[in-house]
Amino acid sequence: MNVSEDPEMVELPQTQPYFESLYTVSPLVIVGTRESDGSSDLAPKHMAFPLGWSDYFGFVCTAEHSTYLNAARTGEFTVSYPGPDGVLDASFAAAPRDPDGCKPALEEIDTVEGDVVDAPAVADSYCILECRVDRTVEGFGKASLIAGEVVGKHVHEDVYRSDDTEAEELLSRSPALAYLYPDRIATVDESEAFPFPEDFNR
């Protein structure tokens, strides 16, 4: 049987994006860059992820956005992972700009400065990465992948995974924030161990 013959599957036309047709789970991060006038820019991203198992991180953006332009100009950006209590920060960062290009809502977000890169990050995040742009990959429609090398890493002690802390204790103490594209969020405060096969390795 082909997948299109399954009566429970809905076949989508090529013009309909699949990710608009169901909820998919992604992280929600806030990318920080420096504007040309020295001010801070913050923008929420959900198409954002580690690249491989080394210190590389990437996010999807378009050349129409200040985040793309700033990262291309300065070669630097930060990545902040807000917890469930930081949802409003992500909302403020998503606010539209004024006709003069300013984004007043950013004044509502408490920030810290990077130690290694000249870019802002969101205070009270459970993880902050400092990155230098490694390359930009164009051609995903209007979108591009901005890939950076992580040159600074900071993890809040409440979420730090140590050998003597159980996963359930960590998540109960400090739940993770998930984004369900296109318009919902979820708090992850419990989980189950994945049933890896014997002798599994990545």
Distance CA 34, CA 18 (A): 34
Does residue 30 sit within a domain?
Answer: yes
Q: What is the pTM of this model?
A: 0.94
Does residue 198 sit within a domain?
Answer: no
- Tell me which residues of the chain have a pLDDT lower than 70: none
Q: What are phi and psi of 100, to 5 degrees?
A: -85, 5
Look at residues 84, 99, 100, 91 and name the one whose alpha carbon lies nearest to residue 44: 91
Full residue range of the structural domain in which residue 101 is found = 24-188
Does residue 12 sit within a domain?
Answer: no
Does residue 104 sit within a domain?
Answer: yes
CATH of the domain at 124: 2.30.110.10
Residues 32-86: tens digit of each pLDDT: 999 999 999 999 999 999 999 999 999 999 999 999 999 999 999 999 999 999 9
Does residue 17 sit within a domain?
Answer: no
Does residue 4 sit within a domain?
Answer: no
Does residue 193 sit within a domain?
Answer: no
Number of domains observed in the structure of the chain: 1
